[in-house]
Chains A and B, each alone.
Chain A
């Protein structure tokens, strides 16, 4: 609860709205206890007194009644009616929405069509019609306002329920023997409650306004009872001569609605998990670099990464994702980068062209020399010129990297035009040539398709074609075959291998799969806990791993041809985020060959022949 208030108070406007709302609530609900005049006593001799008159702080109305007293009593009534209406329509709307979303099919159809009919009427007309049937009166006005707002809740809640009802934990609950009713109450309701609360908080202001509207038309509260709407209505006839009788309730409505809406926005921000973590902050086009730039990199390699350290910054604390990563790639070489989740392999790959989302990503240290120039010292324009031009990426899920609403052909053309500033005609030629290169059958068909119309393998071919558009010299492929079936994977790997050999491309190939990496890589780097633990020629690492992590990991991957059996395992699970203060080997807790001094100091990486290993006791 305290956390929740803290989250709300981050938003200064919401805090202001909240405080304003509390003041209005306290004062208006204390009105029976305050030393106020009777709001309904008529004293015609004191009509239309101006505010700050003696005895009447806010003046009097056309019947000489005390405006301050009427305002507070009226606010109390309006708030009560508005909130009750919100609660009623939230309850009925949420129940309808949940039922429609959960049961789907015919139930959904029937309920939602009725809701659609309700929504087809302008709300004020509908409310008028309801009051006309029920007869005027504050209670009936409240019912009308509640009814009119049911569709809003029903539609919102139905949408959320549909997504939740298709989640696996609902099936799991069903398999736990829970009835539909219990599933709705115990599994679905807790998950839609935040949405209901947010919807209430953003609509209650409207409801107060709508009730005031009905009262203004004389259909809500009946004289002499005061509410904000009827006060406005009574003031209307004297608007020109004695405007204060309208200003006073008008200002109050304004304050209430603005306070409710500001506060409602605050609640929404606090309850939305994405917003509460600050993830909707727009990322910068390049990763923030906080390096002091004193890493000396004299390498003349095609690509040379030295001491690259990338971190994520949360609450002003740095959590390292990769630490002192150094490697070289030669021209035409394919380097494999193996690691499990949290090993820092993807962060390293993205850091090369400063693609780590920032915030929260920060490159803390290091140098990335590409053909002699340090990328980390370039400005945005220079980096942009490199990306997709000399260095291009292939990602795991082409469905999320291709634009869903643009046809494949158009996307290929754009990628070409962006860097070459040439005409559409040439771009079309180039694009089709590329599709042929990645062995897409029926090119015309694919050219005019949207990404979702293609199979996973075809999509990955398209993204490879896109990566090749501007004749890159380095391709960074981040798990390009992980989402594909084995038969398709074999084809994509074969394609990548052929292409890189034909065109002399350098490739940084990231994967968690030893089998895949050994198929196409010349050299392999193994990462664990954000650090490189071993590096060497593919055949050497596959046949004679030296780091205990590499050997243990290779052993516990199941291979075909050994039948049903007990598999070798590594205890525990890989670390997720590394903190700066931890000393010693990050694999020590899971290592079978651990000795006491493994945790005493940071282990340095040691080169021996053409391999490197970060271990005090490597296999020989």
Chain B
């Protein structure tokens, strides 16, 4: 699994949140967020993680960036366990870009002050070098120099997201996690940011992990895609193949549900849309209750990862 080519890999990664049952009840209940996941990311590659709310994709991403401690499993960045990195060294290698561009900037600091932090603390540059770096990066993300002395609330979403990108780039990290990079932005601004991310990836040889609920966004910037459902990866594949020929019924459902401009609505029959209970996960396949292809077997057995034509999925009865 841990290929030498991989810039990042994670093995058997899980996260459970435990909660005491009550004030006087010492017994605790485990809430499953991410369940036994393996991930690998190659250099200069962009990997998409797609799934609906509550599937654990943000928890997974935050564990990779070292913002949440995993319950079990190991994460290696450049073949070194992240626990073996020195304090404050990890952000030099992996960075996280947040969904809401405005709230990821301190409201009481100017943009210049926010951008100077990674240069000062991660790269130990002096004042002069900091100014030079900031001025050059601000051009890279197409912002004006006069913006530097303004405060976050003076910016539109698109501009703030460019500032977020600049901050991430300044750390010189090669792996960047993009958490819903455009979902807070206006439609006409989304494509600007996606193009910018594509350009910067080539220019600075970055590797991306892109998290989104929007399949179209994932398709536009990713080479490979993993589909997550209920804390588990149910399908992984090259982006092109996944979007042309989804194997897992859940991937298929997602693709089918995206509204298209050239068709009227089809009547949906009401299949359950609720996720299983994370405190008491089902024994069999977690997608069972919503699945079109289900049989009795799926109810009792949880499918293992199957490989077919270079594609991996967890399903007994895949589509196609």
On whether the beta carbons of A515 and B100 are closer than 8 Å, the reply is no
**Roughly how many angstroms separate A564 CA and B242 CA in the complex, as a whole number?**
13
Inter-chain contacts of B223 with A (CB < 8 A): 564
On whether the beta carbons of B98 and A172 are closer than 8 Å, the reply is yes
**Roughly how many angstroms separate A565 CA and B52 CA in the complex, as a whole number?**
24
Inter-chain contacts of A489 with B (CB < 8 A): 257, 259
Instruction: Name A340's contact: one of B186, B195, B243, B267 (CB within 8 Å).
Output: B186
On whether the beta carbons of A182 and B121 are closer than 8 Å, the reply is yes
Interface string of B185-199 (1 = CB under 8 A from A): 011111110110010
Q: Which residue of B lies closest to A341 (CB)?
A: B186
Determine if A486 is an interface residue (Cβ-Cβ < 8 Å): yes
Stretch in B23-31, B211-219, B294-302, B308-316 with 4+ CB within 8 Å of A:
B211-219
Instruction: Name A457's contact: one of B217, B259, B273 (CB within 8 Å).
Output: B273
Inter-chain contacts of B257 with A (CB < 8 A): 486-487, 489-490
- Shortest distance between the CB of A572 and any CB in chain B (Å): 8
Inter-chain contacts of B192 with A (CB < 8 A): 569-571
Q: Which residue of B lies closest to A172 (CB)?
A: B104
On whether the beta carbons of A519 and B219 are closer than 8 Å, the reply is no
Determine if B239 is an interface residue (Cβ-Cβ < 8 Å): yes
Known: A340-B188, A498-B267. A563 touches B219 (CB 8 A): yes
On whether the beta carbons of A569 and B195 are closer than 8 Å, the reply is yes
Instruction: Name A574's contact: one of B98, B186, B216, B260 (CB within 8 Å).
Output: B186
**Roughly how many angstroms separate A172 CA and B109 CA in the complex, as a whole number?**
13
- Shortest distance between the CB of B320 and any CB in chain A (Å): 16
Inter-chain contacts of A552 with B (CB < 8 A): 188
Inter-chain contacts of B108 with A (CB < 8 A): 190-191
**Roughly how many angstroms separate A520 CA and B268 CA in the complex, as a whole number?**
13
Determine if B222 is an interface residue (Cβ-Cβ < 8 Å): yes
Inter-chain contacts of B36 with A (CB < 8 A): none
On whether the beta carbons of B195 and A175 are closer than 8 Å, the reply is no
On whether the beta carbons of A515 and B260 are closer than 8 Å, the reply is yes
**Roughly how many angstroms separate A169 CA and B95 CA in the complex, as a whole number?**
13
**Roughly how many angstroms separate A455 CA and B274 CA in the complex, as a whole number?**
7
Summarize A's interface: helix, strand, loop or mixed.
helix
On whether the beta carbons of A175 and B65 are closer than 8 Å, the reply is yes
Determine if B33 is an interface residue (Cβ-Cβ < 8 Å): no
**Roughly how many angstroms separate A178 CA and B114 CA in the complex, as a whole number?**
12
On whether the beta carbons of B98 and A569 are closer than 8 Å, the reply is no
Count of inter-chain pairs, beta carbons less than 8 A: 210
On whether the beta carbons of B98 and A168 are closer than 8 Å, the reply is yes
- Shortest distance between the CB of B186 and any CB in chain A (Å): 4
Q: Which residue of A lies closest to B219 (CB)?
A: A560
Interface set, chain B 86-100, CB cutoff 8 A to A? 87-88, 91-92, 95-96, 98-100
Determine if B279 is an interface residue (Cβ-Cβ < 8 Å): no
Instruction: Name A576's contact: one of B156, B191, B264 (CB within 8 Å).
Output: B156
Interface set, chain A 499-518, CB cutoff 8 A to B? 512-516, 518
Interface set, chain B 188-235, CB cutoff 8 A to A? 188-192, 194-195, 198, 213-217, 219-223
Determine if A177 is an interface residue (Cβ-Cβ < 8 Å): yes
On whether the beta carbons of B106 and A518 are closer than 8 Å, the reply is no
Instruction: Name B216's contact: one of A340, A488, A498, A560 (CB within 8 Å).
Output: A560
Instruction: Name B259's contact: one of A179, A341, A519 (CB within 8 Å).
Output: A519
Interface set, chain A 178-215, CB cutoff 8 A to B? 178-179, 182, 186-187, 190-191
- Shortest distance between the CB of B164 and any CB in chain A (Å): 8
Determine if A494 is an interface residue (Cβ-Cβ < 8 Å): yes
Inter-chain contacts of A452 with B (CB < 8 A): none
On whether the beta carbons of B121 and A176 are closer than 8 Å, the reply is yes
Instruction: Name B171's contact: one of A176, A520, A571 (CB within 8 Å).
Output: A176
Determine if A559 is an interface residue (Cβ-Cβ < 8 Å): yes
On whether the beta carbons of A573 and B195 are closer than 8 Å, the reply is no
Central interface residue in B191, B215, B275, by most chain A CB within 10 Å: B191
On whether the beta carbons of A574 and B121 are closer than 8 Å, the reply is no
**Roughly how many angstroms separate A327 CA and B72 CA in the complex, as a whole number?**
59
**Roughly how many angstroms separate A566 CA and B197 CA in the complex, as a whole number?**
10
- Shortest distance between the CB of B254 and any CB in chain A (Å): 6
Interface string of B166-189 (1 = CB under 8 A from A): 010001000000000000001111
Determine if A32 is an interface residue (Cβ-Cβ < 8 Å): no
Interface string of B102-142 (1 = CB under 8 A from A): 01111111000010011001100000000000000000000
On whether the beta carbons of B259 and A557 are closer than 8 Å, the reply is no
Determine if A347 is an interface residue (Cβ-Cβ < 8 Å): no
**Roughly how many angstroms separate A168 CA and B107 CA in the complex, as a whole number?**
11
Known: A175-B95, A487-B52. A564 touches B220 (CB 8 A): yes
Inter-chain contacts of A340 with B (CB < 8 A): 186-188
Inter-chain contacts of A182 with B (CB < 8 A): 121
Determine if B1 is an interface residue (Cβ-Cβ < 8 Å): no
- Shortest distance between the CB of A611 and any CB in chain B (Å): 17
Interface string of A584-612 (1 = CB under 8 A from B): 00000010000000000000000000000
Determine if B4 is an interface residue (Cβ-Cβ < 8 Å): no
On whether the beta carbons of B261 and A560 are closer than 8 Å, the reply is no
Q: Known pairs A340-B187, A554-B261. 15 more at Cβ < 8 A?
A: A169-B106, A176-B91, A178-B121, A485-B213, A486-B254, A486-B259, A487-B257, A488-B52, A494-B265, A494-B267, A513-B187, A514-B261, A515-B258, A542-B261, A573-B159
What are 11 A-B pairs with beta-carbon distances under 8 A? A169-B114, A172-B104, A341-B157, A490-B265, A497-B265, A512-B187, A553-B187, A559-B260, A560-B219, A560-B258, A562-B219
Ordered nearest first, which 6 A-B pairs have the shortest CB separation? A515-B259, A177-B121, A177-B122, A485-B52, A567-B191, A176-B117
